[in-house]
Amino acid sequence: MQSLTRSLSAVAILIGLASGVVIGAEQAGQQPSKKETQEQFDARMKWWRDARFAMFIHWGPVSLKGTEIGWSRGKQVPEEEYDNLYKRFNPEKFSAKQWVDIAKAAGMKYMVLTAKHHDGFCLWDTKTTSYNMMHTPFKRDVVKELAAECKRQGIVFATYYSILDWYHPDYNVSVRGRPGYKLPAGQAPDLDRYVKYMKTHLRELIKDHGPLGILWFDGEWEKPWTHRRGQDLYAYVRSLQPDIIINNRVDKGRSGMAGVTKTDEEYAGDYDTPEQQVGKFQTGRPWETCMTICSQWAWKPNDKLKSLEECIRILVNTVGGDGNLLLNVGPMPDGRIEPRQAQRLREIGQWLEKNGQSIYATRGGPFKPGKWGASTHKDNKVYVHVLNWPGDTLALPPIAQKIVGSSLLGGPKAAVKQTDQEITISVPTSDREPIDTVVVLELDAPVRN
């Protein structure tokens, strides 16, 4: 409950802002009269919770080098060279339709694009700096094109935005590397000026390219960023678009790569963000695992591609834990999503065409994930995803509801026995699926979340 209070109080800041209370960084944390109720929060999160599966996209001029976005600047790629890649970035084969077609074929319901990563390069037509897409040979606002195509095809469009910026001199780059351009002589780095720059970006993204489904913040972990600034930024973004969803990396509450929000303060952010790992079973606070389909976030030639089985297992264990899966692709320097990555995504989509009712708009549980697999539920149906059969029979803990029917998803009967001590499920090996055998249990009453 306390975790929900955290997000509610952060929203209270927003409502104060919306009611004319101007919150500067120093004022963040004011408690205006109204708080977002549980019902309002649940209503705002509903489309996102129901979506369950989405595309993450890490892209920028660094794809020319095949090294990691942001992190390879000043390491595998000298800063000077990295910061000038945009002058030869010309993704002539970029097609927003191709990317959205692939996301749809994969069964993905929203898309999160790195509008600005740690390297400071802006993928949209921003008026704040020439370090953007319109100053490349390509001269096109790819954020605008993708947003329009997502709208046309019914996929929710969202942007990732890095709070830390190793290119902008006002970000106190003493934390890492040197800025991509120099401040005027005698002018010291000024974080308040950088926050104004960042807020202008967010206004451009939301007002000129939105509405956005999510503002996916990242890069909150370095010293210059503070809890108060995080609360202020959350309130600012919600004031621009009250129904937008914001992850927990806007503030300082994230506990490392496990992504769960700490409870020692009331931190801003609507959901937790485990990274490169399936989050733990958690139903009290929304969460989303972000994971690469290869090994690198940005494009890397001949990178290791996850198998279909790995992808399905990750998806099932994530949704079985009551989380969303944000699966990342890194498009190529010519603008295409690599054909073998696109093919893998199509294969996941084919699996979802058959099994999607056990994923979309479900909640995790009632059986917690284990070596055997995971479970999801919706209304009075439980979907038992058996990934590893322990033998002829799978034994699960008892539940309060009575099982009144059972079958394989869209298939033959499954032998299910229920006592007060356990539930046992048997499926002949000939009827089992190679990756995930989904057993549907019909109950005499819905499962309570």
Closer of 230 and 373 to ligand FHN (Cβ): 230
Residue 28 or 163: which CB sits closer to ligand FHN?
163
Per CB under 6 A, does 297 bind ligand FHN? yes
Query: Where do we find the tokens 């010519």?
Result: 334
Give the separation between CA 12 and CA 6, rounded to whole angstroms: 10
Q: Tell me the one-letter amino acid at 212.
A: L
- The nearer residue to ligand FHN, 149 or 275, going by C-beta atoms, is 275
Total binding residues for ligand FHN by CB under 6 A?
A: 6
CA distance 89 to 108: 28
Cβ 39 to ligand FHN, closest distance in Å?
30
CB of 434 vs ligand FHN, minimal distance in Å:
31
CA 318, CA 289: separation in Å to the nearest integer? 7
- Cα–Cα distances (Å) from 244 to 48, 200, 239, 270, 324, in that order, read 10, 17, 9, 10, 17
CA end-to-end span of the chain: 14
**418 in helix, strand or coil?**
strand
Buried (b) or exposed (e) across 185-215, using 16+ Cβ within 10 A? eeeebebeebbebbeebbebbbeebbebbbb
CB of 38 to ligand FHN, least distance (A): 28
CB of 164 vs ligand FHN, minimal distance in Å: 9
Q: Per DSSP, which regions of 26-109 are E strands?
A: 53-57
Q: By CB under 6 A, is residue 272 in contact with ligand FHN?
A: no
CB of 259 to ligand FHN, least distance (A): 9
Integer Cα distance of 412 and 165 in angstroms? 55
Q: Shortest Cβ distance from residue 219 to ligand FHN (Å)? A: 7
Q: Is residue 356 exposed (0-12), middle (13-18) or buried (19+ Cβ within 10 Å)?
A: middle
**Which DSSP symbol is given to 369?**
P
Angle of helix 227-240 versus helix 191-203 axis, rounded to 10? 20
Using CB under 6 A as the binding rule, whether residue 70 contacts ligand FHN is answered as yes
Contact with ligand FHN (CB under 6 A) among 12, 113, 147, 290? 290
Q: Across-strand partners of 245?
A: 214
Tell the smallest beta-carbon distance from residue 404 to ligand FHN (Å).
Answer: 43
Note whether 161 binds ligand FHN by CB under 6 A: no
Minimum gap (Å) between residue 372 Cβ and ligand FHN: 30
Nearer to ligand FHN, 58 or 344 (CB): 58
Q: Which is nearer to ligand FHN, 279 or 365 (CB)?
A: 279
CB nearer ligand FHN, residue 99 or residue 383: 99
Does 120 interact with ligand FHN (rule: CB under 6 A)? no
Q: Which of 145, 165, 218, 436 binds ligand FHN (CB under 6 A)?
A: 218
Residue 269 beta carbon to ligand FHN: minimum distance, rounded to whole angstroms: 14
Residue 382 to residue 369: CA distance in whole angstroms: 13
Binding pattern for the stretch 321-360 against ligand FHN, x by CB under 6 A and - elsewhere: ----------------------------------------
For position 251 contacting ligand FHN by CB under 6 A, the verdict is no
Q: Residue from 36, 220, 272, 275 that binds ligand FHN (CB under 6 A)?
A: 275
Q: How many CB atoms lie within 10 A of CB 341?
A: 23
Cβ-based nearer residue to ligand FHN, 190 or 222: 222
CB atoms within 10 A of CB 288: 28
Q: Which is nearer to ligand FHN, 165 or 218 (CB)?
A: 218
Please name the amino acid found at residue 153.
Q
Given the rule CB under 6 A, which residues bind ligand FHN?
A: 69-70, 218, 275, 290, 297
